[in-house]
Chains A and B, each alone.
Chain A
């Protein structure tokens, strides 16, 4: 398992100079994933914040081979790269060991990218798919996605005179990927570098499709001070609103259990996108969200216990 000192000595495979917002969590994900994966890695990236800020021609922040083709197909694109690799290895034309990693935001993964991801998982490609979920289509201006939590204020499910933000609970993509029966599925978060890097390391040590869903606080979309991104990620884990766990060949393991489970209201309090939920008339919505959070957390504890 890599330690912080070793990781910080690596050559930077994701350089500075990109155009991400101050406090952006997505670029933290990219940098930490690549620090573990190393230079023998080919990356594909769906259209979205990470791709857009890091590849403005004639500049690139990527020190590894990188391809972006479109929005909904990071998984299909990397499938093609990996297929060529398999072909060349079989033909005796290539013999290095290479990691194939796809990055997609929640937009390009939960919604428009779900088909390609599902197909790649079913076909068993040797790839790692990292979803950096900031819970909305952030790059185009904070529109709701299938990953947006209930009650969040977004520009396409805004808080108004009669509506109170997103009305639906978010999709559980992590569990959808567990149902695909792939070797490794995990949830992690920006702000717990040890959790994320150890999960990436574990995933890359396995053959077959791997999926890691990383909650990525977005200071602009969630409305908090830019220097609080990592703290925000840790708060999500402490409130159990984004449990950190992994499923290895169907066995559940929760990788972080808070000493004291914090109330969801702390999570709500910390971000402008939930501000309206603090109003007394919205208390029932807050209660609903706490109940759902608790239900999911209890469910995970049970799944871990039955392993």
Chain B
């Protein structure tokens, strides 16, 4: 028996499969979501269980401005992708750069909040349960923002060197999925840490 004889005549069979990039990214997002779920559950479980201060009510203030920054970066990356789909590389680059700026601004917000918590309020990861869970959840999210920014910056560098073209839309959109995920996670973290947790 030959391998070639297995090729049966193909009669008007339209064969389309989902993009492996997208499926792979969705699977990664599912795994990441499971990790975040465990951390968020731990945060919720430990609300109010700290034996000593400082308590969240006394020292936490919701970072509204930086939240708006991060969430609006989802819009900018979306429009950047649409621009690339149309073949407009210049406005893609502009939207992409704006996304990076907003993401970096958010990270600055987290950094300054942590600086204030550590040096003014004396809250570190080992101070009490609140410190442990707070820095873990926010830090895990911040780590994902950093990874996302590294990815975005790599694409930015390629864009500046003129290597990103319309045919890369699919890959760019796969990367955007990750960024949207990071933003959605922040909505959950914000709700849990700054709304329910206070």
Q: Do A and B interact? A: no
Binding site for A on B (CB under 8 A): none
Chain A residues close to B by CB (< 8 Å) = none
